[in-house]
Amino acid sequence: MDLPEILAQVGLFLDHNDLVACIRVSHGWNNVMQPLIWRRIVVHQASLLNLTTPTARDQSLALPLSLGTRASSPSPPSSSPASPARTETYPSTAVILENARRVHTLIFNIHAPSLVQELVPLLNNQLVQLQVLQYSDDIKHILLANSSTLVHFKCLYNAPLPLTATTPERVEHATGFWDTIAQLPKLRGLELSGAFVYEDHDESFFSICCRLSSLVLKSCRIYTRFRPGTSALPQLRRLEMTMNALASDAQFAFITLCPNLTHLAWNTTGSIPSHSFLRYLSMRNPQCPIECLDLSGTALTDGELANILSHLTLLKRFYAAQSFVSGLCCHFITTSKTDLEELILRGCTLLESSMIQSLLMSLPKLRRFAGYVLKTDDMNPPLTASKSLPLPKLIQNLGKRSLVSSMRLLVPTGSSSVAGISNGGPTESTSPRVNDSQDGEWSSKWVCLELEELDVTFSGFQDPSTNGMQIIFEQLSALTMLRKLVLRDYCSYSSFVSQKVPTTTLGPQMRIYKGMSKLAPLKQLRMLDVQWIPLDMTLDDVKWMVQQWPRLRHIRGVLTCNPREYNRIEQFLEQDYPEIRVEGVYYGMEYINRG
């Protein structure tokens, strides 16, 4: 397996993590794969620290840390707490410029105008994708120099005009912008935040849209009028409209111009005409092509959302964070949409814990999931259910047969003694649990074993006899493909939201003696976010973590409030695992930041 032509082709299908592994395999592999790493460059905060530029302009934006290059003599001692070892892992400006000819994808996550200026003469007819924070003359030059190849352009803050700019000035700037974009014949993807589309730009805007297959508009001001007879946009496959200053019905009119959308995100707080929307969805022949739908933040009711879902036979990804998703949607998903791959229901306050449990038990292809509160009681229900499961009123009003079948969904399949709803019984804390059986048969298991990202708020630890953390660890241990884990504790999270110090310290504990060792199989874990959990980890716990999870690169959370232990942990990680970034974030009244 060492033919370079094949390796080069294979390399095109690998993400950066795999490429970084490949370049270490052998000299031959290194020669082929190393240039591929330079195809995609992301310039972000940490990398800025290592850039030395001929001009000092960018340095004024950087933190007062050492700006060493790899080739230069040792840099002056830094006055900040950041570890000096880390700054050396980022390529210097000189190295970036040297490899500029290899770059196909260039992404700026920070403002780096001098670097941009230095890149202008070096990037010609090569860029396929460009992402910048702000449009400028230099960016315009780069766009035009790469007009024969550029396919995607993303710009986060469009008009760098002073607040005192007059409307004619803004119109003129926007005209210049749209004229430039119109000169990119290969452009198929455009993503803009804060752009302006005035009436003057109707024609050029629509003629650009006609060519696009992907359009994302966030917080833009759109003043165009949709004249009758505006031609449809059959090429558009992906449309995202978020918080734009444009009337809801005009936004909907734009959507109806797009018959072939496979990906639609419509995040508006304005009212959505659900009848017309349903009609638009059901008119697609033979079935609606939408595979990904994002209605986060909208005010559609649970029933309306469930109705929408029922029209989308090809749907694979559904995002409805901060929405009114509840029982009807969950019922529909667990019965008729079990091939969902992504389901994001963060902050859905009407989403009940039993619904979350039933979702996780019904969707085997799930790769990303975010939910709200999941009670450990629902993960491990008592053998005799001592209370009826909460059902939305609408389901309760259904006929008895459908009531029973929908009950079966919400009750985890437990031992045969779970007949459904029982009439009262012993209190929960003393009754035996479904999963306490001797043979270790875990009967309310989640089926989503291919899960890569999980974000759940757990609740119900106050009762020590149910040993909530054990249940959580047991269940999480099956998710061997997990790459990103966000754990929240309901008590801490809600106290933070209400600005009170949490009244209990009895929260989830990431400790080995509490069973964290069960999580050893999570070998793919790259990111652990435990900022919403009160932790008191010891050095041994942290050592266990970094040894068992070789891919771990990012931890968010304050690992312990004990200052001595914190220092020991910090020292250990800095010395032995400098590649792991630890972010302490705001928790309670203390603010500790590191790295």
Q: How far apart, in Å, are the Cα atoms of 210 and each of 126, 251, 252, 501?
A: 24, 17, 17, 54
Smallest distance from the beta carbon of 47 to another protein, in angstroms? 6
At 310 the three-state DSSP class reads helix
- Separation between Cα atoms, residue 59 and residue 77, nearest integer Å: 16
Q: Give the residue with the Cβ less far from another protein, 189 or 194.
A: 189
Interaction site with another protein (CB under 8 A): 1-3, 5-6, 9-10, 12-27, 29-30, 34, 37, 39-40, 46-47, 70, 88-91, 104-105, 128-129, 151-152, 186, 188-189, 213-214, 237-238, 524, 526-527, 550, 553-554, 579, 581
Render 192-253 in DSSP notation, one character per residue: EES-EE-GGGHHHHHHHHHH-SEEEEES-EE-----TTPPP-TT--EEEEES-BS-HHHHHH
Length of the chain: 595
Smallest distance from the beta carbon of 2 to another protein, in angstroms? 7
Smallest distance from the beta carbon of 21 to another protein, in angstroms? 5
Smallest distance from the beta carbon of 280 to another protein, in angstroms? 22
Report, in this order, helix, strand and coil percent for the chain, each rounded to 5: 35, 15, 50
Smallest distance from the beta carbon of 162 to another protein, in angstroms? 34
Q: Give the residue with the Cβ less far from another protein, 24 or 227.
A: 24
Q: Give the residue with the Cβ less far from another protein, 283 or 314.
A: 314
Smallest distance from the beta carbon of 290 to another protein, in angstroms? 16
Q: Give the residue with the Cβ less far from another protein, 31 or 405.
A: 31
Q: Give the residue with the Cβ less far from another protein, 309 or 545.
A: 545
- Long-range interactions of 225-232: CB distance < 8 A, separation 24+: 225/199, 226/250, 226/253, 226/254, 226/257, 227/202, 230/206, 230/257, 231/206, 231/257, 232/257, 232/258, 232/259
Smallest distance from the beta carbon of 320 to another protein, in angstroms? 24
**Residue type for 487, please?**
L
Q: Give the residue with the Cβ less far from another protein, 13 or 285.
A: 13
Q: Please list, in sequence order, all residues whose beta carbon lies within 8 angstroms of the beta carbon of residue 439, skipping any fewer than 6 positions away.
A: none
- How does DSSP classify residue 558? -
Q: Give the residue with the Cβ less far from another protein, 191 or 474.
A: 191
Q: Token pair 């803050």 is at which residue?
A: 157
Q: How far apart, in Å, are the Cα atoms of 295 and each of 24, 242, 339, 368, 484?
A: 43, 10, 19, 16, 23
Smallest distance from the beta carbon of 30 to another protein, in angstroms? 7
Q: Give the residue with the Cβ less far from another protein, 190 or 418.
A: 190
Smallest distance from the beta carbon of 474 to another protein, in angstroms? 24
Q: How many CB atoms lie within 10 A of CB 450?
A: 15
Q: Please list, in sequence order, all residues whose beta carbon lies within 8 angstroms of the beta carbon of residue 327, skipping any fewer than 6 positions away.
A: 302, 352, 355, 391, 392, 394, 395
Q: Give the residue with the Cβ less far from another protein, 44 or 57.
A: 44
Cβ atoms of 373 and 459 closer than 8 Å? yes
